[in-house]
Amino acid sequence: MRELLTRNAMLERQVAELRGQIDTRGLTKLKTPRRPLDFTKYVELFFILRFTKRRVALKILYLGWDYCGLARQEITKCTIAEKLIEAFMNCRLIEESSDIRFAVCGRTDKGVSGFSQVVALTLRSNVHDGVGVIAPDDTSKLYPPKPEIDYVLIGNKNLPPDIRILSWSPVPLDFSPRRDCISRSYKYFFPAVDLDIECMRLAASKLIGHHDFRNFCSSQVANGVLNHERTIFKIEIFDSDADKTSLTLCLMCRRCQENRITKWRRVISIIALYNVYTLAEPLLFFEPEFENMNWQSSLDMFPDRRQEHYFAAISREAPSSKEFKRKSILERPTDDALEEKVRKVENRGKLRVARLTGHQVVCCSCVYSTMASAENIDQDIKIFYKKLFPCDLLCKWLSCGSKQPFETLSRREFSFSFAGDVYLRYQSFGDPASFRSELVRTCPNKIDIGAVYSAPPRLQRSLSSTTFVPEWKELVFDIDLTDYDDIRFCCGSANPNAKTAVCHRCWELAKCAVICLERALRCDFGFEHILWVYSGRRGVHCWVCDPVARHLDSAGRSAVAEYLTFVHSSDARKQKLKISSLPEPLLHPSVEAAADTLDSHFVKYCASQNLLNSHFPDRVKLMLQHLPPDLDSQRNVLFDQWANREEDNSDSTVKRWNTLKCFLQSEKRDNVIKDIILNTVYPRLDTNVTNGFGHLLKSPFCVHPKTGFICVPIDSHLIESFDPLTVPRLNELVSQLSQANTHNEVASQHLLAYKHTTLRPYVEFFERFVDRLSASMQLTSKSENDVDTTGIYGGIPSLEVV
């Protein structure tokens, strides 16, 4: 016991001696935790509390086109102010960024540069007294005073090359670079190409003085800004160089009694039309003017040479000639007057306006043949979003795979469409409750879903294009029956008297698309979680939700779309791929499997559209044109036989196809048969929707704005029995809720309200799909063989309304 006490006393003496050495030498010995070896380094102790602080103003120069503006922002650190604070923290001139009272002279937005911008902040100081010095009453614990820190030299060593500190000045504690600024000058550099300089100078002179600049600034009516009167003291246009190839516009604004600030957007609007041109880069916040400032520069820095380099970069030449087709500025449309903007703000919230045509109310949300009022239609949509729309289930689907609940939902883009082609893009919500609340409040006619971005889409306008980028999105496909109008004669453009956008005869094309793409996506690509959704009018949408599909880049999505494309849609659909000239072994197995799968559907579709009927010789000619050139004689013989018959019916179409098929088989031209089948009923994809991240797709369970049908999910295994004409409509669902007489129960349990309507089987099918997807996301660490890939989620049974 005595030995332990002796050993303890000896160790305590050693610790005391080491502490004394630390206090006298100012050095401490630290181990580097990341190195397993006994490697040490010495770090000098630094006590910032033993220094004074000082309020200083910095005159800085920066190029703004690579930054998101001057002021600090919560959603990005790519700002001038953030780089300044980061540099001063690295050189230990700042301890906490919240205590520096950072202020700027003139806020510049993204893309605007500053040549003499002034900022004020509180930094560490070496002196104990003077202008702007903040020192404690007891200075005995401070380090001895030294010559003041060279803020210019130290700051520039830690700043990026496109941000420079030119000089600094001590300022009083109550100094504000924004309020104490006497004047601000802006300069704009532009090429002198075919410009009437004298006319420009005459127009500029009319702006000098006190005027109302409401047409030269962004509208802030919603924020209560109605006064747009400002004073401009000086506008000059002069040559920027000796060759007189470029010009400079200099604009000076002085402080008025109300201390209003001239914004950079107003300066841009004076120079050009802000909504037409993007002219931020040549605009410079050139120089502010202050009184009683003692600017001090560093003798070790030579900013003049760097300024010449920056001036040369900013004054680079613009395009030397105008566009070929140019519209005069005076002939271009103008913005709304201030009174019109005020009226629009007052009427905001009344965007959904129905038009009364005769005795029929036509609304963008749906078309009713009954004599309903616009108020009733609005009420139906509000009831649907409040009690029937599966908002929680939809958000769960869009958030599958998130580490935190609804973590990716806040970065998912939504778009709301209203009457009169009014739409709001880049909407985002943090949870299902806020999503439903916004739906009930605004009652949009249509909901579209986009990609997941790196930041919430509602902040898109304040972010740069390099900061706000899409991260992932489901692999989507859009099948629109209008792309088949060259072979769709019942409801397409070939039949202007058609009363519906789709019928049972042309819906056969949508069935073929679902069957063919389902097989290819599962068998050829190995995707498991594929959701099919009826578009509500004349098409289907496909959402591939596998993690691999979600994170495909644009090149990968384009490759998948190209692999699945046989007949191009849109204007290029007539440029069909011909496989009739290929030898049998060269036909891709996927193409051959698609032709075999679609054979029976092709015969059924030919009969329904009378493609080989004698009463429609143009259709017969359309089908026979698929025969290769070496069979021209047989094509002419068949056309003469089939196009001149007086009596005909749908059965004759089937018989004629069998005759043509037997003839081609006898000639060993099976590829010609497959070519005819695939060019007729093979899925025609809109590849633009699939390739990029910017295209949005209609949300499941939203209301189609033209028909009132609900965009319900489809069980691909029951696609043969799916009838698009029996899909629930908006007015039918609201009526079913009323007949169920359960409004009191539904009002408190909106998640169960759909069970009282014909929407129930579709919601339950979607719920099973989401549960499977969520379970699969949680088992990503297991082998793919352990996950069931049959894709059987259960069918959609018939349901009687209770």
User: What SS3 class is residue 650?
Assistant: helix
DSSP secondary structure, 459-518, as one string: GGGGS-TTTS-EEE--EEEEEEGGGGTTT--SSSTT-TT-SSS--TTTHHHHHHHHHHHH
Choosing from 109, 448, 474, 478, which is the catalytic residue?
478
| Alpha carbon distance 239, 551 (integer Å) | 52
Half-sphere exposure of 764 (CA within 13 A, CB side): 16
Check if 196 is active-site.
Answer: no
Angle CA 127–129–131, to nearest 5 = 105
Instruction: Quote the tokens at residue 344.
Output: 């629009």
Whether 670 is catalytic: no
C-alpha closest to that of 673 among 588, 585, 595? 595
For the sheet with 539-544, list strands across it.
Answer: 475-480, 539-544, 530-534, 713-714
Best CA proximity match to 27, nearest among 5, 47, 43: 43
> Distance between CA atoms of 350 and 353, rounded to whole angstroms?
7
At 668, is the secondary structure helix, strand, or coil? coil
Distance between CA 67 and CA 211 in Å, rounded?
Answer: 33
Alpha helix positions (H), 206-352:
264-271, 303-314, 338-346
Percentages (nearest 5) of helix, strand, coil residues in the chain: 40, 20, 45
Q: DSSP secondary structure string, 676-738? A: HHHHHHS--B-HHHHH-SS--EEPTTPBPTTT-BB--EE-GGGGGG--GGGSPBHHHHHHHHH
- Rounded Cα distance between 667 and 118, Å, is 86
User: What tokens does 769 get?
Assistant: 């799909």
725: left (phi over 0), alpha (psi -120 to 50) or beta: alpha
Token pair 């500029």: residue: 204
CB 510 within 8 Å of CB 540: yes
Phi and psi, residue 56, nearest 5°: -130, 155
Token pair listed for 173:
């504690």
480, 528, 675, 732: the active-site residue: 480
Q: Among residues 162, 287, 380, 413, which one is catalytic?
A: 413
Residue 710 near residue 369 (C-beta atoms within 8 A) = no
Please, which residues bridge with residue 117 across strands? 60
Query: How far apart (Å, rounded) are the C-alpha atoms in residues 26 and 177?
Result: 39
Decide if 686 is catalytic: no
DSSP 398-456: HTTT-SSTTTTGGGEEEEEEETTTEEEEEE--SSHHHHHHHHHHH--SEEEEEEEESS-
CB of 155 within 8 A of CB of 86?
no
- Rounded Cα distance between 730 and 447, Å, is 15
Q: Annotated active-site positions, please?
A: 413, 478, 480
